[in-house]
Amino acid sequence: MLENVTLKKRLSRQEYKRILPGLQARLFELEEACWTNGVPTILVFEGWDAAGKGSTIAALTQRLDPRGFRMFPITAPRTYEHQRPWLWRFWLKTPGRGEMAIFDHSWYRRVLDDRVERAVSKQAVKEALHDIVEFERMLAEDGTLILKFFLHISKKEQKQRFAALAADPLEAWRVTAEDWERHRQYGKYRRAAEEMLEFTNSGYAPWTIADATSKWYPRKLVFDTVIAAMEARLGPKAPPKTPAPAADSKDAELRQAMESMEGGL
């Protein structure tokens, strides 16, 4: 799947800033509608280090009602979590009716990081892939909308981003020795990601592979994908779209404020 991504798609910063307030406003309307109608949503973000997962999630959630979503940054399981079935800690984080759960990394850690680092056996990886499919199937059959995003950049682009961060005294802390080691093993991670994407892609929990070479393009793609999926799930219960002129007027002050911000978006 990754070999079919051209890594050449672009969106200008000016165009992104122009359309962002409207996308955020529409997502807010749909968040409210899903809450009212009891539609739970899971958004999964995977991808390469420095591909922009955090900044994409920040843009996505900036105008959402914080009472309606929860954000889960996933790291390695703790000691006591090893004493439970491996999906236990994720079951605890599944959203209630009408809620949204956003995962920065997820249960896919077991078939990516743990696999490449040989923290689990080949048999455990094989079993985990089947566990994931069933986990997502059960959630989907219970009414959960599941959308998964893989932010993709080349090894060369990742190296350039790491180097830029390392050269900035205020950002250097973000690049660790572990990050560089994963970069050196880019090929192994790519092969693991290819198998993961192919095995776990489904109609009820689809993967969207986002070309993240451009800073702005993947954010728009994520917004468009989430909005379209929520509208489709809500059907006639989806709120009507605000006419473009009215939306532009409503978001004029927000757009002006966002344009004055640097770094975050």
Structure tokens at 94: 């599944």
What's the one-letter identity of residue 68?
A: G
d(CA 213, CA 11): 10
Global pTM reads: 0.91
Q: Is residue 258 part of a domain?
A: no
Residue 262 pLDDT: 41
Contact 239, 231 (CB under 8 A): no
SS3 call for 138: helix
Contact 95, 146 (CB under 8 A): no
Contact 211, 5 (CB under 8 A): yes
d(CA 186, CA 179): 10
List, as own/partner pairs, every contact residues 187-191 make where C-beta atoms lie below 8 angstroms and the sequence separation is at least 24, other chains included: 187/155, 188/116, 189/48, 189/112, 189/116, 190/2
Q: Is residue 136 part of a domain?
A: yes
Q: At what angle do helices 252-259 and 13-37 cross, to 10 degrees?
A: 130
Q: Is residue 264 part of a domain?
A: no
Q: Is residue 252 part of a domain?
A: no
Residue segments in the chain with a per-residue pLDDT below the cut of 50: 261-265
d(CA 221, CA 223): 5
What is the domain count for the chain? 1
Residue 1 pLDDT: 73
Q: Is residue 263 part of a domain?
A: no
Query: Which pLDDT tens digit goes with each residue over 168-193?
Result: 999 999 999 999 999 999 999 999 99
The residue with tokens 């680092």 is 117
Q: Is residue 257 part of a domain?
A: no
Residue 264 pLDDT: 45
Judged on CB neighbours under 10 Å (0-12, 13-18, 19+), 117 is middle
d(CA 263, CA 171): 12
- CATH code for the domain in which residue 154 is found: 3.40.50.300
Q: How many CB atoms lie within 10 A of CB 208?
A: 17
**Which residue range forms the structural domain that includes residue 76?**
2-240
Q: Is residue 247 part of a domain?
A: no
Contact 44, 112 (CB under 8 A): no
Q: Is residue 150 part of a domain?
A: yes
What's the one-letter identity of residue 206?
A: P
